[in-house]
Amino acid sequence: MNKADSERMAGILEEMGFQWSDSPDEADVILYNTCTIRDNAEQKVYSYLGKQAKRKHLQPDLTLVVAGCVAQQEGEALLRRVPELDLVMGPQHANRLRDLLEQVFAGNQVVATEPVHIFEDITKPRRDSTVTAWVNVIYGCNERCTYCVVPSVRGVEQSRTPEAIRAEMVALGQQGYKEVTLLGQNIDAYGRDLPGVTDSGRHQHTFTDLLYFVHDVPGIERIRFATSHPRYFTERLIRACAELPKVCEHFHIPFQSGDNAVLKAMARGYTREKYLRIIEMIRGYMPDASISADAIVGFPGETEEQFQNTLDLVEQVGFDQLNTAAYSPRPGTPAALWDHQLPEDVKADRLQRLNHLVALKAAERSQRYLGRVEAVLVEDQNPKDATQVMGRTRGNRMTFFTGSIQELKGQTVPVQITTARAFSLTGERLTAPLTLSAC
């Protein structure tokens, strides 16, 4: 989501006539889009900022901007800490960058962190890729997971209308984009804030309805989405994914912990058993589906036994990928105030043991690809080997094979998998055409 915000802000800067600079030390405007999900992400910005703040003393017309979640969290305190800053702007203000910079150029120091209605995105993002694109469907989050800073920095849920989302996808299809990832912190909450209910009392615009509404956009060959919340995940959504050919068989469903007492303390609103039932249901409809997730170790009070339940869940599910993190206390969140915080060394040890298991299980999962022919959508050259290109399978495994990027960029080609590593694959391109069902 931060990348999507960065691309939108870069698009606005470009429209204002700015050009990308290769070196931050040569830039006239520097914008840091920041993350505060964990403390180490937050600390990064302070180290970058220090250097540029010094440069400002030599070059007073340098414009310094901090955007994103650290900006939202710290607000004016950030100006007191770094008085050289010109603009502090929260993530809800990303689309207003032009306005805000104009105020700065008129001589003001500006803090934009008040909650706002996010106006329909009329800006043109400067997208990093010409093949795959992010499309926001819902901003903010109304959950209250006790460890999480997101609701306080990204604000309440605001869904974009189905028409606006489809229009953005149609434009992407016309520009030659092949894959869209629909984004929301809790994508299953999509539409709860939009008007309209069905005769049976269900919200009229659920995320599942949205998939049906956008899946036939011309030119777009693949649709992905993130992040799913186990509390709201439905069988109807799984059926839609199984039924709609463009929707990839990859589900990102964070479980956070495999222990019911920890899940309860996290206020996640589901049990380990419910999570396992979801995975079982997905595999019932799509046996080959890839499953990825996020997990936290060392939540306040987590015992060794409770941590073992997380290991056990990972063992049982066999994730294709898992983003893992040691619990980091965040400002303004309930869990940060609890007094049974775990020592850093215990958290680090659990993280290492979990990561070890994750790599083993992912390597096992990768084995199923060996010898198979996979449809790979080519995105780019392999940065480590110019004779190779890279792209992803429908299940989201990065795959490398020999080929020319000029010829293959944006194409979906059949690749026979010859090497399977934990998190990536290597293969050989087949020249026989793909059958429709494979692409």
Min dist CB 294 to ligand SF4, Å, is 8
The type of residue at 306 is Q
Q: Rounded to whole angstroms, how far apart are CA atoms 256 and 293?
A: 8
**Region near ligand SF4 per CB under 6 A, out of 20-28, 45-53, 138-146, 403-411:** 138-146
Q: Contact between 150 and ligand SF4 (CB under 6 A)?
A: yes
Compare residues 93 and 268 and give the one whose CB is closer to ligand SF4.
268
Q: Contact between 330 and ligand SAH (CB under 6 A)?
A: yes
Q: Contact between 325 and ligand SAH (CB under 6 A)?
A: yes
Min dist CB 349 to ligand SAH, Å, is 16
Which of the choices ligand SF4, ligand SAH, none does residue 421 contact, using the CB cut-off of 5 to 8 A by kind?
none
Q: Contact between 37 and ligand SAH (CB under 6 A)?
A: yes
Q: Contact between 267 and ligand SAH (CB under 6 A)?
A: no
Compare residues 67 and 296 and give the one whose CB is closer to ligand SAH.
296
Compare residues 89 and 148 and give the one whose CB is closer to ligand SF4.
148
For residue 373, what are the CA distances in angstroms to 48, 241, 280? 45, 21, 25
Q: Contact between 229 and ligand SAH (CB under 6 A)?
A: yes
- Are the C-beta atoms of 49 and 24 separated by less than 8 Å? no
Q: Contact between 34 and ligand SAH (CB under 6 A)?
A: no
Compare residues 145 and 182 and give the one whose CB is closer to ligand SF4.
145
CA angle 15, 19, 25 (to 5 degrees): 140
The type of residue at 113 is T
Give the dihedral sign, CA 209/133/363/353: negative
Which of the choices ligand SAH, ligand SF4, none does residue 327 contact, using the CB cut-off of 5 to 8 A by kind?
ligand SAH
Min dist CB 61 to ligand SAH, Å, is 37
Quick one: which of 219, 71, 192, 94 has its CA closest to 137? 192
The 8-class DSSP code of residue 368 comes to T
Quick one: which of 233, 235, 303 has its CA closest to 268? 233
Compare residues 38 and 166 and give the one whose CB is closer to ligand SAH.
38
Can the peptide bond before residue 113 be classed as cis, meaning omega within 30 degrees of 0? no
Which of the choices ligand SF4, ligand SAH, none does residue 376 contact, using the CB cut-off of 5 to 8 A by kind?
none
- Are the C-beta atoms of 296 and 325 separated by less than 8 Å? yes
- Are the C-beta atoms of 306 and 346 separated by less than 8 Å? no
Residue from 227, 290, 306, 309 that binds ligand SAH (CB under 6 A)? 227
Beta strands in 69-190 (DSSP E): 87-89, 110-112, 132-136, 138-139, 158-159, 179-183
Min dist CB 149 to ligand SAH, Å, is 7
Q: Rounded to whole angstroms, how far apart are CA atoms 60 and 397?
A: 47
Q: Rounded to whole angstroms, how far apart are CA atoms 67 and 63?
A: 13
Min dist CB 293 to ligand SF4, Å, is 12
The type of residue at 201 is G
**Region near ligand SF4 per CB under 6 A, out of 141-149, 280-288, 305-313, 362-370:** 141-149
Q: Rounded to whole angstroms, how far apart are CA atoms 217 and 340?
A: 51
SS3 state at 109: coil
Q: Rounded to whole angstroms, how far apart are CA atoms 7 and 93?
A: 14
**Region near ligand SF4 per CB under 6 A, out of 15-23, 148-156, 339-347, 398-406:** 148-156
> Tokens standing for 15?
């429209």
Which of the choices ligand SAH, ligand SF4, none does residue 393 contact, using the CB cut-off of 5 to 8 A by kind?
none
Residue from 56, 203, 222, 229 that binds ligand SF4 (CB under 6 A)? 229
> Tokens standing for 402?
């020999």
Residues 142-161 that bind ligand SAH (CB under 6 A): 147-148, 150
Q: Contact between 417 and ligand SF4 (CB under 6 A)?
A: no
**Region near ligand SAH per CB under 6 A, out of 79-87, 173-181, 205-213, 321-329:** 321-329
The 8-class DSSP code of residue 146 comes to T
Compare residues 104 and 145 and give the one whose CB is closer to ligand SAH.
145
- Are the C-beta atoms of 94 and 126 separated by less than 8 Å? no
Q: Interface residues with ligand SAH (CB under 6 A)?
A: 37-38, 147-148, 150, 185-186, 227, 229, 254, 256, 294, 296, 325, 327-328, 330
Q: Interface residues with ligand SF4 (CB under 6 A)?
A: 141, 143, 145, 148, 150-151, 185-186, 229
